[in-house]
Structures are given as structure tokens and as C-alpha cells.
Amino acid sequence: MKIFLDTARLDEIQQAVDWGVCDGVTTNPSLHSRAVAHEGDNAIGYRERILRIADIVDGPISAECVTRTTVELIAEARELASWHPSVVVKIPIDGPGLAAIKALSEEGIRINTTLIFSLNQALLAARAGAAYVSPFVGRLDDIGENGIGLVADTVNLLDRFNLPAQVIAASLRNTDHTAEAARVGAHVATIPFPVLEQMQRHPLTDKGIQAFLDDWHKAEAALRAQPVS
């Protein structure tokens, strides 16, 4: 399973790249807005943000459309895709979105279909030509449905019918979500930075490191205490 960062913050992306665990990035208008708020007076616009991310990461970078008709989506997606070869255009699933996905994928523009909440939506997006489909795990869990179940069903569907789209498990909120996404075979998990940090940790690792250090110092002290012969 590949690891994408689900953030628009450059500092978080740089840290994940330094750790060697960032295969790509997904952004959306909400993440951009949060990054702008975090950056304050040094905030940058969406185009500059995507270009700066492309300087940091060697992999797909999802940039999301904010228009609603097919004609507008096609024009906006072409503009986003022209910014950098790494750009994957994010389009929400609906009728106008599907028509745009069909036209754009025929032009060779890669589409990540977002806000997927059902297997039917995933099927339609994949049939229309999307390169990626993004089921939203956390938001389904929020309403008492099984988000990881949809990821598993979507992976199986694409596999069974030999559809080339890849599944990005999105809206992941915790380390159980990331582990489960891997277990059910998601091609990609797009992960918020705090969850990526949490994935590294285990209390037994901390305890084990401390025990190794204590034992090392004990051995060193014993060696130092040996009588000089």
C-alpha cells in the first residue's frame, strides 16, 4: 500500500518525505484553507502551493476542482493539470463530474474521484475512466456505516472486473483505519500527518528502547568498575 499525505501543509509534507514515507499528496479546499490559516501572513495561493509540493514530493499530487458544471470542470481540470505533470485532478462524484471524468481521462488527464460513499459511486467513477477512486472511511463511520468495508468492497470490485482504477482510502482518522486499509488491500492510504506520526509509535517500543539503554549503561559501568590488571 502506498502512503500519501492528506494535507496541504508544506512543513508536514517535508517531514514525511524526510522519513521516506510519502509517495504522494492529496489536497482539497478544506485542507488548503487550514494551511492558509496556519501560515498566517506568509500564506500562499493554491497554484503556488501545488508547485511547492511538487518541488518536495516525487509522486502524484491531487488538486481539487471547485466548479460544478461539466464545461467548467473540464476547463478547470485542464488548468490544474497544466500546472505540473504530477497533478492528479480531484473531481467529486455526480453526473456533471462523471461526464468531465470521461472527457478528461480520454485526454490523458488523471482523475481522482472524491467523496465516494457507496460501491455504486465507485463503480461509475471507475467505468468513466478515473485513475483513482477515494472512498471516505471516517465520514461513513461518523454516520454508523462501515468505511473500511466500502474500501474492501471497492478493491474487490475493481479486481473482479479488471478495472484499472486504484483505491485511495481517504478520510482516515486513526491508526486502526490505516492498518485496516492495508489489510483489505487498498492501493493507497492518504493519511493526515498526526496519524502518520502516531503510526510510528508503540508503548512497547518506547519501553524496549529505554531497557536497552539502561542495560547498555549498566554494562559500561560494570566494565569501568573492573580492577585494572
Give, in order, the Cα–Cα distances in Å from 107 to each of 59, 90, 113, 168.
20, 15, 16, 22
CA atoms 168, 171, 176, 180: torsion sign: negative
Pick from 3, 5, 6, 123: which binds ligand G3P (CB under 6 A)? 6
Give, in order, the Cα–Cα distances in Å from 50 to each of 22, 57, 218.
15, 10, 52
Residue 164 in grid coordinates: 484499472
Nearer to ligand G3P, 74 or 172 (CB): 172
Q: Which of 2, 90, 102, 218 is catalytic?
A: 90
Nearer to ligand G3P, 132 or 158 (CB): 132
How many chain residues interact with ligand G3P (CB under 6 A)?
11
> Alpha-carbon distance 46 to 84, whole Å?
13
Q: 90 catalytic, yes or no?
A: yes
Pick from 2, 52, 139, 187: which binds ligand G3P (CB under 6 A)? 139
Q: Lay out the site mask for ligand G3P across 185-204 (x = CB under 6 A, - = otherwise).
A: -----x--------------
Residue 13 in grid coordinates: 509534507
Bridge partners of 168, per DSSP, are 188
Instruction: Decide: is 138 part of the binding site for ligand G3P (CB under 6 A).
Output: yes
Which 148-187 residues touch ligand G3P, going by CB under 6 A?
Answer: 170-171, 173
**Known catalytic residues?**
90
Residues contributing to the site for ligand G3P (CB under 6 A): 6, 26, 28, 31, 136, 138-139, 170-171, 173, 190
